[in-house]
Amino acid sequence: MAILDIITYPDPLLLKPSETVTDVNDEIQTLIEDMAETMFDAPGSGLAAVQVGVNKRIIVVNTTGNLENEEKSWYALINPEIVEKDGVYVSEEEGCLSVPEFRATVKRASRVVVKALDRKGEPVTMELNGFHAVILQHEIDHLNGILFIDHLSVLKRNLYKTKVKKQMKKSA
């Protein structure tokens, strides 16, 4: 297993829809393991393959609680699709590993039903509520080329983009 580099905004790959996985092979299994290790190292609640520079429809989600000595637990979804959603959940202080040093309040659905393949390539359907529904919406957005800042007002989004441009000029 390896810790992968996480790409950050404004990398253009983050804005590109990801490709469907057609073969759940050993290469995909290695990628999933590496993504999980990267997510825990970051640390994050979830991670999409595109965030590590791989344009495939794969996400991993952290299900570990907040107990310090708790064993790490997670799951992977391949080609996930939201097939049903309802309600309103206000995700306060939502953040993203690919949008560093920025958090914002985002309105999301409070319940989602997702169809996908598990890491063995078997079909699964999951119904999630609250925070867990937010994580899936956030990660599936990545697979569709959408960042959480795209859900913000133009003013808030532009403030972040301006901040990033200034940082890039300083680094150059």
Q: What is each CA distance from 25 to 2, 10, 90, 119, 139, in whole angstroms?
A: 18, 31, 38, 10, 22
Has residue 18 been placed in a domain?
yes
Per-residue tokens: 95? 């953040």
Give residue 89's pLDDT: 92
Has residue 34 been placed in a domain?
yes
Has residue 155 been placed in a domain?
yes
**101-135, pLDDT tens digit by residue?**
899 999 999 999 999 999 999 999 999 999 999 99
End-to-end CA distance of the chain: 33
Catalytic residue among 68, 93, 94, 139: 139
Decide which of 86 and 166 is more confident.
86
**Annotation says 19 is catalytic:** no
State the CATH number of the domain containing residue 158.
3.90.45.10
- What confidence tier does 70 reach under pLDDT thresholds 50, 70, 90? confident
Domain that holds residue 80: 12-171
Give the range among 79-83, 86-90, 159-163 with minimum mean pLDDT: 159-163
Has residue 70 been placed in a domain?
yes
Has residue 4 been placed in a domain?
no
